[in-house]
Amino acid sequence: MRQRLESLVRLALEEDVGFGDVTTAATVPGEATGRALIVARGPLVLSGLEAALETFRAVDPGLSARAMATDGDRLEAGQTAVELAGRARSILTAERVALNFLGHLSGVATLTGRFVEASRLPGGGGPRILDTRKTTPGLRALEKAAVRHGGGHNHRFSLQDGLLIKDNHIMAAGSVALALERARRDGPQGLRIEIEVDRLDQLPEALGNGADIVLLDNMGPGALAEAMAIIGHFYAPGPRRTLAEASGGVNLDNIASIAATGVDLISVGALTHSAPAADLGLDWL
């Protein structure tokens, strides 16, 4: 993970700095030193600190870059995330890349926190909020960490982490039952098997053929409630052994009604592919 982060920061700096920061070199004396703070401009959940600190270290190992908060902390406007001291040129050259990491990742954490809060049930508790693989290429590990910092949970990190049988797998296999049979027979032992259903009539076949999780795709609250009733009836009077995951079309306006249906998991692609950047800035002291 450390090597991957260093490589990612190096690529980001090469992209941004190119052959040199010509503006800083032309305007700031080489011997000048300074102090600066990275400050939240508005409420946010912090994430991306290690990437930001690594950016300053990569530009100038002699810089002092000190975290004043922890990933997962909720900051209000004016609160400090990072304190910097050292060569002025180095601070200015690293500024934009460090802020890009912090802004994007804190944006993911902040949006995740909003979904988690919106999904809480009136009596307490609620479904787990999951991310997806709809991540920025190269940033998956950082974005999934940001989801955790916001109170969410990670779905599969990569295709090797679990069997998720989607609609096209079912079509290619021939049926829900055949896809599940082959997954149990030929898939790696110990991995949970999840299958997507987008019609209620597929549910009994999925439940009867050993699915560990059923992904209820693009169903509104009414259909989800009906699905949960079907699942409950299938296992009655014993305990339910299959988890139910809602996915597709989930937003902050409807997540409370989706959570109220009793699903165990809600996956939200928007956490990583549509999170607005959090607002942080660097203030010179």
18 contact partners, CB below 8 Å, separation of at least 6: none
DSSP conformation letters of 128-157:
EEE--S---TT-HHHHHHHHHHTT-B---S
**Active-site residue among 198, 212, 217, 226?**
217
Cβ-contact 262, 27 below 8 angstroms: no
- E-assigned strands of the chain? 33-40, 44-45, 64-67, 74-75, 80-87, 128-130, 163-165, 193-197, 213-217, 243-247, 265-267, 280-284
In the sheet that 64-67 helps form, which strands lie side by side, from edge to edge? Answer: 64-67, 80-87, 33-40, 280-284
Whether 166 is catalytic is yes
Q: Is 140 marked active-site?
A: no
Residue from 114, 120, 134, 192 carrying the catalytic annotation: 134
Q: Please tell me which residue in 74, 120, 140, 166 is annotated as part of the active site.
A: 166
* Residue 96 a catalytic site member: yes
**What residues does 43 pair with on adjacent strands?**
none
How many C-beta neighbours within 10 Å does residue 31 have? Answer: 8
CB 149 within 8 A of CB 109: yes
The catalytic residue among 35, 41, 57, 96 is 96
Active-site pick, 54, 196, 205, 245: 196
Per the CB < 8 A criterion, the answer to whether 14 and 264 are in contact is no
The DSSP call for residue 77 is: T
Q: How many angstroms separate the CA atoms of 161 and 170, rounded?
A: 19
Residue 13 has which token pair? 């700096």
Q: Is 134 a catalytic site residue? A: yes
Identify the CA nearest to 54 among candidates 21, 7, 89, 22: 7
For residues 150 and 119, is the Cβ–Cβ distance under 8 A?
no
* 144 in active site: no
Q: What are the catalytic residues?
A: 96, 134, 166, 196, 217
